[in-house]
Amino acid sequence: AWEDSITDLEFSPLAQAELRSHYAAYLAAHIDVSLAVEQLVRAAQACGVGDRSPLSRARQRVRGTATSLGIQDPRLPEWAIAPLPDDVLELLNQWVRATDWPTTEVFLHTHIDRLQQPDFRRGLELAAALFPESPDIDDLTDFLDQVEAEGLDVILDRGRHDNEVRQTLDAWISTRTWAESKDFLDGHDSVLRTPEAQALLAGADAPEARQHLAILQLTEGLSSDQVYEIVTDPDVATEAAFAAVDQADVPLMRRVVTAHPALLTGITGAFFATVSAVAGGATDQARQLAQAIAEHGTDTQRRAYAIRLRTLAGLPAALAGAGELADVIHPDKHS
């Protein structure tokens, strides 16, 4: 019955490995330990690759069986038989719980000597093999590699600086009014108007982060007064976005509409989205937007947007497909 069930799982090697491990335990208890070893070796061989969660489960089952039976066969991989230092998982759990920089710094000051010892690093490698679905092990490993390469003091200084930038960004985004936001930016420009701040915002998947990133990018060419007029005044924002289109400066247009997201509503918003889509190579999306403008825009809007698209198509840095979109919006070539 065991062999038949194992054969039934031939297309699920990790599930098969788990079942072989159970079979090995049965063989050791009731028939022959040497047969158990053979089954366990075959189970381990099936645990080379696979989706992370079932791979983790299968490897832990193999290791658990090897440990309970006291098997130390040289054909078994290290993850199945190598000793795991008692404190590795405990320190990993502490690392996971260190969710802010102050806690992380305390953790490092307390445990850095142990974390850098060779047997702990080998324990991390073993834990990574047994728990491949855990990103925290890779995070700690990468962090310790940085400490080894650059030194603890450098890493701590960088962490403190990044924490200051992160806290300042959070405080800026949390301001209650745009007037307060502008005053905060002006008062903390040495921290906020930096590549580090922009990188943190770019890595955050949230509308507020994208909007504040656009604000910072706009301040590279405009005063904060001008930028916050764009943020707060729809007429100013619309004029700035059209001016960017007329200059064929699509990145600037994108920053304007991101800083004032309401611009992406209605027919005017569909036009800005069309320009952004065609510039990004999303031709199908651009055509769908152009068709929506053609169906729902007024004649004046359609003529104006077609003119702008044809102008873009005729510039030295022409947008491929802009002319065709103009014909979709308003076929009159003399518009």
pLDDT in tens, 201-251: 999 989 999 999 999 999 999 999 999 999 999 999 999 999 999 998 999
**Whole-angstrom distance, CA of residue 259 vs CA of residue 255:** 6
pLDDT above 70: percentage of residues in the chain: 98
Answer yes or no: are the C-beta atoms of 130 and 67 closer than 8 Å: no
Answer yes or no: are the C-beta atoms of 25 and 69 closer than 8 Å: yes
What pLDDT, on the 0 to 100 scale, is given for residue 319?
Answer: 75
What pLDDT, on the 0 to 100 scale, is given for residue 335?
Answer: 47
Answer yes or no: are the C-beta atoms of 131 and 141 closer than 8 Å: no
pLDDT tens track for 19-39: 999 999 999 999 999 999 999
288 by Cβ neighbours in 10 Å (0-12 / 13-18 / 19+) ranks as middle
**Whole-angstrom distance, CA of residue 326 vs CA of residue 335:** 10
Q: What single letter denotes the amino acid at residue 290? A: A
Give me the mean pLDDT over the 302-312 stretch.
92
3-state secondary structure at position 206: coil
Q: Which residue has the higher pLDDT, 169 or 319?
A: 169
What pLDDT, on the 0 to 100 scale, is given for residue 315?
Answer: 74
292's tokens: 């929506």
Give me the mean pLDDT over the 287-306 stretch.
94
Give 157-226 as a DSSP string: HHHHHHHHHHHHHHHHHT-SSHHHHHHHHHHTHHHHSSHHHHHHHHT--SHHHHHHHHHHHHTTTS-HHH
268's tokens: 């005017």
- Report CA Rg, the chain: 30
3-state secondary structure at position 32: coil
Averaged pLDDT of the chain? 93
Answer yes or no: are the C-beta atoms of 274 and 306 closer than 8 Å: no
Q: What is the DSSP letter of 317?
A: T
Closest by CA position to 20, among listed 7, 31, 33:
7
Answer yes or no: are the C-beta atoms of 46 and 6 closer than 8 Å: no
